[in-house]
């Protein structure tokens, strides 16, 4: 249920919890398969979030160790990745401007944890150009940790497949990378920041990086940065897209981010030095809204995804573990 939170309500703290007490996505029971989990792409069967789940947030400037600590507070990467798993990582190398791309050290830490958990393959998949990955230093980070960079040609529509969106309000069909079918586990690894249209981007919007740019262009009506109807359409398309793509884990870069001129920058910077991890995209984005000084109930992508039953928007129903 939507609510207006005081800062005291928002920044809840609790003791560090172990894997046995963390609630949320199921524990992996065999390589690359969560018991009862949905395929990475396909209709969503989840209902409204039931009971508390956990968001982990770690603050500090040792980004590799803090990323590892954030995932450990959820029970460790072994909860999501097991021996032989094939893992797709969706980071954001959009522009080399400060605060506009996922920090390479965070990408390194996620790949390292996946490898340590026994993953057979860890790939950063993207239709962003290889030059973007090189310019942000992310390509080097991927190679250094034994991962692979898998670039999908954004201009070749044969590399994307049509996927119906049965519960879509604005979006009836998406065009998702066929390459995603080759993986068992999906880790959503965005940077949270300002956006020119809906004023916020995080885990939910990052999934546009798996959808065809041609399809994504239908999300953007004329005057999509100023016209409320166009902004509403964009937000609803993002929420609809999230009903058919199912990340197993979200890890968010909130270390240094732009609060203006998003999503590309350059823009005004803040440095919360936080790394956030969780399995509930709606709750994670609601938490990240607070970092940007926004009320999640004012961000339509978050509210619409909550209405789709994709997660919890009321952070009073979320166990927030901070370190």
In order of 60, 62, 106, 212, 284, the CA distances from 273 in angstroms are 5, 9, 12, 32, 16
266 cis-preceded (ω within 30 degrees of 0)? yes
Average pLDDT over residues 260-284: 94
Phi first, then psi: what are they for 228, rounded to 5°?
-60, -35
Average pLDDT over residues 195-200: 87
Residue 50: is its pLDDT beyond 90? no
For residue 258 the two structure tokens come to 């732009």
Average pLDDT over residues 43-53: 54
pLDDT at site 94: 86
pLDDT at site 45: 52
What pTM does this model have?
Answer: 0.87
Q: Which long-range contacts (CB under 8 A, 24 or more apart) does 7-11 make?
A: 7/290, 9/315, 9/316, 10/287, 10/290, 10/315, 11/290, 11/320, 11/322
**Residue range 290-299, pLDDT digits in tens:** 999 999 999 9
Which strand (E) or helix (H) includes residue 165? none
Task: Tell me which residue has tokens 């890890």.
Answer: 251
Q: Answer whether 242's CB lies under 8 Å from 205's CB.
A: no
Residue 165: is its pLDDT beyond 60? yes
CA 237 to chain CA centroid, nearest Å: 16
For residue 227 the two structure tokens come to 């016209």
Rounded to 10 degrees, what is the CA torsion of 62, 104, 179, 31?
A: -20
**Residue range 144-160, pLDDT digits in tens:** 999 999 999 999 999 99
Helices and strands in the chain: count of H runs, count of E runs: 10, 14
**Residue range 34-47, pLDDT digits in tens:** 434 668 988 765 54
In order of 61, 117, 264, 267, 288, the CA distances from 194 in angstroms are 22, 34, 9, 9, 11
For residue 147, the number of C-alpha atoms closer than 13 Å in the C-beta half-sphere is 31
Closest Cα partner for 207 from 232, 230, 225, 189? 189
Task: Tell me which residue has tokens 């990745």.
Answer: 81
Domains and CATH numbers, the chain: 7-41+50-322 (3.40.50.11440)
Task: Give dist(CA 262, CA 248) in Å, integer.
Answer: 27
- SS3 labels along 81-93: CCCCCEEEEEECC
Task: Give dist(CA 314, CA 282) in Å, integer.
Answer: 9
Query: Average pLDDT over the chain, rounded to whole?
Result: 87
Q: Answer whether 234's CB lies under 8 Å from 226's CB.
A: no
């Amino acid at each position: 249920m939507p609510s207006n939170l005081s800062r005291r309500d928002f920044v809840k703290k609790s003791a560090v919890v172990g894997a046995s007490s963390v609630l949320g996505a199921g524990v992996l029971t065999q390589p690359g398969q969560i018991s009862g989990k949905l395929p990475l792409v396909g209709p969503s069967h989840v209902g409204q979030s039931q009971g508390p789940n956990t968001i982990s947030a770690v603050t500090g400037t040792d980004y590799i160790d803090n990323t590892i600590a954030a995932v450990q507070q959820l029970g460790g990467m072994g909860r999501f990745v097991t021996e032989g798993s094939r893992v797709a990582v969706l980071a954001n190398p959009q522009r080399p401007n400060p605060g506009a791309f996922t920090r390479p050290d965070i990408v390194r830490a996620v790949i390292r944890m996946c490898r340590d958990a026994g993953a057979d393959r860890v790939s950063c998949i993207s239709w962003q150009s290889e030059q973007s990955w090189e310019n942000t230093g992310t390509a080097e980070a991927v190679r250094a940790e034994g991962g692979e960079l898998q670039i999908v040609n954004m201009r070749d529509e044969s590399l994307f497949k049509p996927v119906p969106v049965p519960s879509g309000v604005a979006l009836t069909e998406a065009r998702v990378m066929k390459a995603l079918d080759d993986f068992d586990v999906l880790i959503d690894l965005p940077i949270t920041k300002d956006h020119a249209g809906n004023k916020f981007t995080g885990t939910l919007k990052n999934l546009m990086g798996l959808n065809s740019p041609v399809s994504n262009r239908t999300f953007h009506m004329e005057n999509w940065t100023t016209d409320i109807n166009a902004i509403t359409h964009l937000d609803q398309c993002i929420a609809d897209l999230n009903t058919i793509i199912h990340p197993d884990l979200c890890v968010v870069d909130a270390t240094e981010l732009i609060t203006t001129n998003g999503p590309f920058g350059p823009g005004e910077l803040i440095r919360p030095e936080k790394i956030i991890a969780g399995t509930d995209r709606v709750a994670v984005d609601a938490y990240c809204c607070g970092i940007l000084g926004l009320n999640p109930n004012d961000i339509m992508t978050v509210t619409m995804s909550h209405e789709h039953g994709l997660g919890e928007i009321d952070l009073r129903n979320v166990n927030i573990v901070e370190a």
